[in-house]
Amino acid sequence: MTAERALWESQPGEFSWAGGIEDTFIPQARPGLRPLDEYELTQHYTQWRADLARAASLGISKLRWGVPWYRVEPQAGCFTWDWIDEVLAYMVRDLHIQPIIDLMHYGTPLWLEQSFLDERYPEHVAAYAQAFVERYRDLVHFYTPLNEPTVNADFCGRRGVWPPYQKGDSGYVAVLLSIARGIQLSAQAIRKTDPAAVLVAVEAMNWSQATSTAAAEVARSFDGQNFLCWDLVSGNVHEHHPLYNWLREQGASATMLEQLREQPITYDILGVNFYPWSAQLVEYDETGGIRFSPVPSNGTLLADVLRRCYAHARCPLFVTETSSPEDVAGRAKWMDETIEAVRTVRAAGIPVIGYTWFPLMTMIDWDYRLTERPADDYLLHLGLWDAHFNEKRLLVREETSLVERYRQYASAPETSGI
């Protein structure tokens, strides 16, 4: 157990307010699919100093922030850290914000031609993690080896819109297994280099409710996949695991699953990502097929998700992403509901140790990658600051009333500790 985790468990009142900068990186292009680098599209590469100052103005203590691996390692084994040096020094030393570093927030370097299915991927991602920790261990203590592994596997392996462009459940499983192995090796490298490092798993969590007994098994299986990478990395996928047979049917070899069991790693914190679109009803339609229907926006459902996560992981939880695509009033409602959900489960003894509004500023919708239309058409207002392009093509950040609302949550005595 790390010193940080021991401190949180001995002081259950400790709570961190956090924010996040959207940091998806899909640099690969192909006909009909253009690169998606959120730092470039949102102009964070040039506006980073002002963006971080805005985050600090909220009174938060932590910030989820990612490293564009494809830029810092443009050739295998050759690292370029200049920009990262400047950003992290300003964030930590000047603003006194502790980053929760996404070493991987989607995307791999261009020289990994098969992306996650390149046989060199697990070793290379671990070498990159080690190089980062060696350089920044005096500044950084919290690491996410890979953000949302199941979303990676879905977009890269099942839907075929991100490299390596596989489709179907077999593609999903192949990508997820490689990701899990990369996480294991990265975690080992991080802890070897900095034994005090805190490892934060971050996963997109769904909430599913079956509308009939017949659909209940589908709902359970769907939600069970929330924890599949957690279980793989933790060495807990064996013959009695509920998804073991499904994994084998989709091409997972017994040898690979055994290798994952033999080198388990333990996370210190489970990060929970939950959005309005994370909740759905599961039902059979008139043709006998399964249909997923959206649930009206209800942030209080986060309480049930957190209960499920703690029952499975039995470790401290951190809400690492939440926000809403609604107008400012709708986002304010979602903020109030999800913070109340955190308050409810903490009162029941579940160790939720932090809350993150993510992203803090307008991002570019991922569908931008699929067309040739301008970024103006894909502004996705999820944040506390909205944004628009001015006549000089500068993406101008606009403070909304949500900034003060979140600042009050983070600083008011009655809410600072939830």
Write the single-letter amino acid at 87: V
Q: Is 30 inside a domain boundary?
A: yes
Q: Is 337 inside a domain boundary?
A: yes
Instruction: Tell me which residue of 282, 220, 229 sits closest to 257, measured CA to CA.
Output: 229
Q: What are the Cα distances from residue 59, in Å, to 17, 355, 398?
A: 8, 13, 18
Q: Determine the average pLDDT of the residues in 10-26.
A: 84
Q: Over the stretch 221-259, which tens digit does the pLDDT of each residue have? A: 888 889 999 999 999 999 999 999 999 999 999 999 999
Q: Is 323 inside a domain boundary?
A: yes
Q: Is 371 inside a domain boundary?
A: yes
pLDDT greater than 90 at residue 285: no
Give the pLDDT of residue 160. Answer: 96
pLDDT greater than 70 at residue 1: no
| Residues near 22 by beta carbon (within 8 Å), at least 6 away in sequence | 38, 42, 358, 359, 361, 363
pLDDT greater than 60 at residue 31: yes
Instruction: Tell me which residue of 278, 348, 279 sits closest to 311, measured CA to CA.
Output: 348
Chain mean position to CA 278: 13
128 half-sphere exposure, CB direction, 13 A CA radius: 31
Q: Which two tokens stand for residue 35?
A: 């690169």
- Phi first, then psi: what are they for 322, rounded to 5°? -160, 145
Mean pLDDT, the chain, whole residue set: 94
Angle between helices 168-193 and 121-136 (to 10 degrees): 30
Q: Which residue has the tokens 């932590």?
A: 62
- The pLDDT-based confidence of 290 (bands split at 50, 70, 90) is confident
pLDDT greater than 80 at residue 11: no
Q: Is 418 inside a domain boundary?
A: no
Element (DSSP H or E) covering residue 201: strand 198-204
Strand 279-284 with 207-210, pairing: parallel
Q: Determine the average pLDDT of the residues in 66-85.
A: 98
Which residues on adjacent β-strands are paired with residue 199?
Answer: 143
Q: Over the stretch 76-133, which tens digit does the pLDDT of each residue have? A: 999 999 999 999 999 999 999 999 999 999 999 999 999 999 999 999 999 999 999 9
| Residues near 286 by beta carbon (within 8 Å), at least 6 away in sequence | none
From 16-25, 132-141, 289-298, the region with the lowest mean pLDDT: 289-298
Q: Is 417 inside a domain boundary?
A: no
Q: Over the stretch 300-344, which tens digit does the pLDDT of each residue have? A: 999 999 999 999 999 999 999 999 999 999 999 999 999 999 999
From 11-20, 26-35, 334-343, 391-400, the region with the lowest mean pLDDT: 11-20
* Residues belonging to the chain: 418
Burial class (CB in 10 A: 0-12, 13-18, 19+), 217: exposed
Burial class (CB in 10 A: 0-12, 13-18, 19+), 224: middle
Decide: helix, strand or coil at residue 259.
helix
Read off the DSSP letter of residue 361.
B
**Number of domains into which the chain is organized:** 1
Q: Is 271 inside a domain boundary?
A: yes
Q: What is the CATH number of the domain that holds 371?
A: 3.20.20.80
> Residue-wise over 118-151: b if at least 16 C-beta within 10 A, else e?
beebbebbbbbbbbbbebbeebbbbbbbbbbbbe
Give the domain extent around 99.
3-412
Side-by-side strand order, sheet with 290-294: 207-210, 279-284, 290-294
pLDDT greater than 70 at residue 33: yes
Residue 50 or residue 12, greater confidence: 50
Q: Determine the average pLDDT of the residues in 205-230.
A: 88
pLDDT greater than 50 at residue 9: no
pLDDT greater than 50 at residue 4: no
Q: Is 20 inside a domain boundary?
A: yes
CA distance 264 to 102: 20
Q: Which residue has the tokens 């950040």?
A: 397
- Phi first, then psi: what are they for 354, rounded to 5°? -170, 165
Residue 261 or residue 5, greater confidence: 261
CA distance 304 to 228: 19
